[in-house]
């Protein structure tokens, strides 16, 4: 039946962990629940362990180690490392190096370890169940991690640490609160499965469903619903274009608890050097994407355009010219600001800085206006097309 070439060998440890645990949960949890009640302490420990392992991956494995989006004091790194170990998603070194490859070769069928182009199952979990060549670790992209003592400590003692966090901690906590099996089943087993799949949704669903407000050059999407379950990682379209930003939900109102945690810890000196992409650059990407979308809408229609649509097209072209002028002015200001910094006359620097600051603000304001006008124009264009257009 299957004429495809031989499949790579099965990765048994991954199969046992990733498929064995849901199977065990399916039998043990209903059976236990039938005979006993889970204590409140068991449910609370489920929530705490779910948060700890989830944030260990998002704030630790992902934003701290894979992207170096901020720096953290060692107690924070230690707690995140333990949380990530609790999540059983392989070592920091393996995870972060593979993730850097994912960003570098996103969507490439042979180079992206969890390419969404290979379908839901593969990008969600399939990529881990066999030893695919795209998943073979290559730590050339992680020289910083090879020098990181915390990362290498975890790498060396990974199995004992997995046993300590996933068996030792739930057993100890269960004995303490007097509900050994309740805590082991909920905070140990059920939490592990939940944590696995919400993380895997980022690689699968977040490359399939949602919006693309910043770029359509890859499959990554922004998805609020996924952000809700993934500690803010659902804003994956933003993340793929600006991977070094410590925020994934970049707008202040976007649900990103990982961002709040990192920012909160910076207020008490436990994290520092939080990387932020300048607001102008982010807005520029958004406006450029709006132009691209308008162009696509217009391209659907041939020469036989209604006059209203022709007018809309002209307006958009004018706006595009103004947008290009804004970008030019911004580039010139950047140059001037570099020159000003080099200027020898120290007392004049302050004056020049003030002038440049005002001019930067004006250009930033212009970019905001482009964004607002394009928003309105897109709405009008869609309305116009619905009313008059005659698709070819
Ligand atoms: Zn991705
Ligand atoms: Zn990433």
Please report which ligand is nearest the Cα atom of 220. 1
Tokens 């944030």 sit on residue: 55
The Cα 200–Cα 240 span in angstroms is 16
Task: Kindly report the three-state secondary structure assignment for every residue of 107-120.
Answer: CCCCCCCCCHHHCH
Both tokens of 275, joined, read 């990387």
Q: How far is residue 357's CA from residue 340's CA, in Å, rounded to a whole number? A: 12
Name the strand (E) or helix (H) holding 72: strand 71-72
Ligand 2 centroid to 70 CA: how many Å? 13
Which residues does 238 contact at the CB level (< 8 Å), separation at least 6? 213, 214, 222, 245, 247, 248, 249, 250, 282
How many angstroms is it from 138 CA to the middle of ligand 1? Answer: 18
What are the residues whose beta carbons fall under 8 Å from the beta carbon of 285, sequence distance 6 or more?
A: 214, 215, 241, 242
Residue 248 CA to ligand 2 centre (angstroms): 9
Give the tens place of pLDDT for each residue, 13-62.
999 999 999 999 999 999 999 999 999 999 999 999 999 999 999 999 99
From the CA of 206, which ligand is nearest?
1
Q: Which of 323, 220, 224, 221 is nearest to 280 (CA)?
A: 323
Compute the average pLDDT of residues 312-326.
Answer: 89
- Ligand 2 mean position, distance from CA 61 (Å): 10
**Percentage of the chain surpassing pLDDT 90?**
72
Question: Which ligand is closest to the CA of 239, given by its number?
Answer: 2
Under a CB-based contact definition with an 8 Å cutoff, are residues 122 and 114 in contact? yes
Work out the pLDDT band at 303, boundaries 50, 70, 90. Answer: low
The pLDDT, as a whole number, for residue 302 is 61
Tokens found for residue 280: 């102008």
Closest CA to 108 of 192, 30, 258, 217: 217
- Least-confidence region, from 91-100, 105-114, 334-343, 362-371: 334-343
Would the pLDDT of 91 be above 90?
A: yes
Q: Which ligand is nearest to the CA of 117?
A: 1
Tell me the pairing of strands 71-72 and 271-272.
antiparallel
pLDDT tens digits for range 154-185: 999 999 999 999 999 999 999 999 999 999 99
Q: Is 221 in contact with 210 (CB distance < 8 Å)?
A: yes
Q: Which ligand is nearest to the CA of 245?
A: 2
- How many A from CA of 191 to the centre of ligand 1? 23
Query: Do residues 224 and 211 make contact, with C-beta atoms less than 8 angstroms apart?
Result: no
Average pLDDT, stretch 289-305? 80
Residues in CB range of 107: below 8 A, 6 or more apart: 115, 116, 117, 207, 218, 219
Predicted local distance difference test score (pLDDT) of residue 391: 52
| Å from CA of 103 to ligand 1 middle | 7
Query: Distance, CA 292 to ligand 1 centroid (Å)?
Result: 22
Query: How far, in Å, is the centroid of ligand 2 from the Cα of 263?
Result: 18
Please give the distance, rounded to the nearest whole angstrom, from the Cα atom of residue 107 to the centre of ligand 2. 13
- Backbone dihedral angles phi then psi of residue 113, each to the nearest 5 degrees: -60, -30
Asked if residue 5 has pLDDT above 70, the reply is no
pLDDT tens digits along 210-235: 999 999 999 999 999 999 999 999 99
What integer is the mean pLDDT of 340-358? 73
Residue 2: pLDDT over 60: no
The rounded radius of gyration (Å) of the Cα atoms in the chain is 25
Those residues whose C-beta lies under 8 Å from the C-beta of residue 207, and which sit 6 or more positions away, are 107, 116, 123, 219, 220, 221, 236
Give 37's DSSP letter: P
Please tell me the distance between residue 180's alpha carbon and the centre of ligand 1 in angstroms: 38
CA-to-CA separations, 322 to 93, 205, 311, in angstroms, rounded: 46, 37, 17
């Amino acid at each position: 039946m299957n004429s495809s070439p031989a499949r790579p060998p099965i990765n048994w440890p991954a199969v046992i962990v990733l498929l064995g645990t849901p199977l065990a949960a399916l039998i043990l949890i209903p059976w236990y629940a039938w005979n006993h009640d889970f204590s409140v302490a068991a449910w609370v420990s489920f929530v705490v362990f779910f948060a700890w392992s989830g944030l260990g991956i998002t704030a630790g494995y992902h934003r701290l180690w894979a992207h170096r989006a901020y720096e953290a004091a060692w107690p924070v790194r230690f707690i995140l490392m333990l949380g990530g170990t609790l999540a059983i998603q392989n070592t920091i070194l393996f995870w972060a190096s593979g993730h850097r490859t994912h960003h570098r070769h996103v969507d490439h069928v042979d180079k992206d370890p969890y390419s969404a182009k290979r379908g839901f199952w593969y990008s969600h979990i399939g990529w881990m169940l066999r030893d695919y060549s795209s998943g073979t670790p290559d730590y050339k992209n992680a020289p910083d991690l090879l020098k990181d003592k915390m990362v290498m400590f975890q790498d060396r003692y990974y199995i004992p640490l997995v046993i300590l966090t996933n068996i030792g901690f739930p057993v100890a906590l269960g004995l303490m609160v007097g509900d050994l099996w309740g805590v082991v089943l909920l905070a140990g087993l059920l939490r592990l499965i939940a944590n696995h799949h919400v993380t895997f949704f980022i690689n699968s669903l977040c490359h399939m469903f949602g919006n693309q407000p910043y770029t359509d050059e890859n499959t990554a999407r922004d998805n609020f619903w996924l952000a809700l379950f993934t500690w803010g990682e659902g804003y994956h379209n933003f993340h793929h274009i600006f991977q070094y930003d410590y925020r994934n939900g970049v707008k202040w109102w976007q649900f990103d608890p990982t961002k709040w945690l990192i920012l909160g810890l910076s207020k008490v000196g436990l994290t520092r050097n939080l990387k932020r992409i300048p607001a102008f650059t982010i807005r520029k990407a958004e406006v450029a994407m709006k132009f691209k979308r308008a162009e696509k809408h217009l391209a659907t229609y041939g020469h036989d355009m209604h006059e209203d649509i022709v007018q809309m097209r002209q307006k958009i072209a004018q706006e595009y010219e103004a947008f290009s002028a804004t970008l030019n002015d911004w580039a010139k200001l950047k140059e001037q600001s570099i020159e000003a910094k080099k200027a020898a006359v120290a007392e004049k620097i302050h004056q020049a800085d003030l002038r440049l600051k005002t001019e930067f603000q004006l250009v930033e304001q212009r970019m905001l206006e482009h964004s607002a006008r394009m928003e309105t124009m897109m709405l009008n264009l869609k309305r116009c097309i619905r009313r008059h257009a005659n698709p070819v």
